[in-house]
Amino acid sequence: MEKLGDSNYQTWSTQMKMSLMTKGLWTAVSGFPDTEDATVRTQQQQQDSKAWAFIGLGVEKHHLGVVSNTTTAKEAWEALKSLFAASSGARKMALLQEISSISKQPDESISRYSARVRAVGDQLEAVGSKMPEEQLALFLLKGLPSQYAKVVTMLKGRAEEPTIVSVQAQLLLQEAEFSLGSGSAGIGGNLAPALFSGGRRSGGGGGGGSSGSSNNHGVGGSGSSSGGGANGWDNRECYFCGAKGHIKRNCRDWQRAMEARRSGQQQPGRQIDRHVALSAVALSARSGTDRSNTWVLDSAATFHVTGERSLLVEEKQLPDGISIAWGDGRITKPTCSGTVAICLGERSSLSLSDVLFVPGASHNLLSVSAAAQRGACFNFGPDSCTIQVDGATVATATREDNGLFKLQVEPGLVAAATSVAEAPELWHRRFGHLGYDSLARLQREGMVSGMEVPAVDFEVSSSRVCEPCIMGKHHRQPFQPSASVSVRPMQLLHMDVCGPLPEALCGSNYVVTFLDDYSKLSVVKGVARKSDVATVVQQTITLLENVSDQRLQCVRTDNGT
């Protein structure tokens, strides 16, 4: 048990009371019953001496003087209580001022900032002023910088009360997007000095609205925004353009975007980012190999790029204005995009989405950034780079003499794989078995990017039967209430064995559970073999009997062997 310091009296007093009760000494603090029996009075004095000594051993050295000036356990307890009663009010006020003014530091991560807010909340609870979870979450949001304004508005607008866990999860996602948007890794090795240029905008802009941040598809800031003050939205911020005075469904920029999407054209008045590709390449005598069979890993490219149109599957036209900024200063325009399925062997393949076709491109570029956003992990070493998806290695790129990491593809099998059209059932599963009517609404209102299934297909599929949905909505009859009532520990012990399960890190394949019906104490033991269960049961029952000083009376199981 932690000793009593200067700021932990509330938790210390609770733990000390539990410890004294466990040892049967709490009556020395709460007060002994009156008695004339000399033997009982002697026993009470002995218990009081033990309780007084136990309290003294549980405080830091600078508090020993308070205990030593008393003669009984009750006096020692009251002296410490009065000492901290005077200081707890000032401590509580200081912590409340700290939590009300807390803010995220510029170089502080969301995880560290959340931990700091939690720490102040824990200290408030220690001085007897526990703050509700939703109030802590609001203080956490209050201290965020302006770059998190949109996600703060979204979280505050939710119907349910925010919690630290839910807020932190959303902020971590936003922090990851900031990191992907601002980070740029250079290409090392013996390359020429990089001429990396990124994020340059082509000219032109919308009317007098604010300029938003660009997304990973190259669509930039917004144009003018419609008014909305008369509708009662003066202080609301539009989730689409970021301007105040209206909401998304009334935003003219959003309406133009939806019209342009339905017509297959680019939204007028929007600025376009130039994507970046291949910082610098030191050419060598080996550069003349068949480029259709080689992909270069490029950490400075924002999109996958190929110069071989024959590799594309399911070509899609691109909006006007998208361009590629190369490392040597050239600006080129891709003509279309598509999916490239590359085979790395008989049982290994990769599918690259949104590959830009640029006529005359000297290399096929596999964008590390674009692949990482879709879940791929790259482990660079001195001579090779392994590509992992869901923890499994799917490809290995080797380092050439010129410093480039190249992925070799099986000749003649580059575009052998075909893409299957997405079905409504696939999106039904992707969204956790969301109803087809809701999926149709997502498509109609443009709430999801990349969903190619028409809304009418979702509406037609609403009558289809989904077996997991039916099974998930089944219910089971409740168990009959038990009439047995335990009145002491170890009177009734529930036991069960679960397994076999996938082997854990400790080597266990089975789990043995114990639950005391009276105290609700639960004990879980892992065993490697089912034959070890008997030994674990004997050891655990002996341990529980010794701890509770009670003997086991009854065991209840499901009659498993």
- Supply the pLDDT for residue 287: 41
Residue 85: predicted pLDDT: 63
> DSSP readout, 44-87?
HHHHHHHHHHHHHHTB-GGGHHHHHT-SSHHHHHHHHHHHHHHH
Taking only the tens place, the pLDDT of each residue in 275-316 is 555 544 433 333 444 566 788 888 777 788 888 887 887 777
Residue 120: pLDDT above 90?
Answer: no
pLDDT at 225 over 50: no
Residue 267 has pLDDT above 90, yes or no: no
Q: Which two tokens stand for residue 541?
A: 């029952």
The pLDDT confidence band at residue 34, using thresholds 50, 70 and 90, is: confident
- Tell me the residue type at 359: P
Mean pLDDT within 434-458: 86
| Structure-model confidence comparison of residues 449 and 541, the more confident one | 541
Q: Quick check: 137 and 164 in contact, CB under 8 A? A: yes
Nearest alpha carbon to residue 368 among 295, 315, 316? 295
Using pLDDT thresholds of 50, 70 and 90, give the confidence band for residue 414.
Answer: very low
Determine the pLDDT at residue 542: 94
Mean pLDDT across 36-42:
87
Point out the least confidently predicted range of 155-159, 262-266, 446-450, 469-473: 262-266
Mean pLDDT to the nearest integer, 242-251: 73
Residue 263 has pLDDT above 60, yes or no: no
pLDDT at 379 over 90: no
What's the CA gap between 36 and 44, in Å, rounded? Answer: 12
Lowest mean pLDDT among 193-197, 349-353, 522-526: 193-197
Give the closest residue to 139 by CA, choosing from 154, 158, 156: 156
CB atoms within 10 A of CB 186: 12
d(CA 47, CA 68): 17
Report the alpha-carbon distance of residue 355 to residue 346 in Å, rounded.
23
For the record, the structure tokens of 247 come out as: 């909401």
Q: Does residue 464 have a pLDDT over 90? A: no
* pLDDT of 195: 24
Examine the pLDDT at 476 and tell me if it is beyond 80: no
Lowest mean pLDDT among 389-403, 418-432, 433-447, 514-528: 418-432
Residue 419 has pLDDT above 50, yes or no: no
The whole-number pLDDT of residue 352 equals 82
493-498/510-516 β-pairing: antiparallel
Rg (CA), the chain: 34
Strands (E), 344-492: 349-357, 364-367, 376-380, 384-389, 392-399, 405-408
Query: Among residues of the chain, what percentage have pLDDT more than 90?
Result: 13
Instruction: Tell me which range, 81-85, 150-154, 342-346, 364-368, is most confidently predicted by mean pLDDT.
Output: 364-368
pLDDT of residue 466: 83
Q: What is the pLDDT of residues 316-338, one digit of tens each?
A: 777 666 777 666 556 777 888 88
pLDDT value, residue 326: 67
Q: Using CA atoms, how far apart are residues 86 and 88, in angstroms rounded to an integer? A: 6
CA distance 200 to 177: 19
Cα 171-173-176 angle, rounded to 5 deg: 110
Query: Hey, what long-range contacts does 256-265 have (CB within 8 A, 24 or more apart)?
Result: 256/223, 257/446, 258/445, 258/446, 261/446, 264/317, 265/319, 265/320
Cβ-contact 523, 540 below 8 angstroms = yes
The pLDDT score that the predictor gives to residue 362 is 74
- State whether residue 319 is helix, strand or coil: coil
Torsion of CA 171, 177, 181, 185, to 10 degrees: 100
Instruction: Give the β-pairing of 323-326 and 274-277.
Output: parallel
Torsion of the alpha carbons at 446, 452, 456 and 461, rounded to the nearest 10: -120
Residue 225: which of 253, 198, 204 has the closest Cα?
253
Asked if pLDDT for residue 412 goes beyond 50, the answer is no
Phi/psi of residue 308, each to 5°?
A: -110, 105
Ranked by mean pLDDT, the top range of 47-61, 79-93, 108-122 is 47-61
* Token pair 């920029």: residue: 253
> What pLDDT was estimated at residue 123?
74
Percent of the chain whose predicted confidence (pLDDT) is above 70:
73
**Count of beta carbons in the 10 Å neighbourhood of residue 95:** 21
pLDDT category, 421, cuts 50, 70, 90? low
pLDDT in tens, 44-70: 889 999 999 999 999 988 888 888 889
DSSP 474-510: ---PPPPPP-----STTSSEEEEEE---PPPTTS--E
What does pLDDT average to over the chain?
Answer: 74
- Tell me: the pLDDT tens digits for 486-539? 899 999 999 999 988 888 877 888 999 999 999 999 999 999 988 899 999 999
Residue 88 in this model has a pLDDT that exceeds 70: no
**Predicted pLDDT at 159:** 62
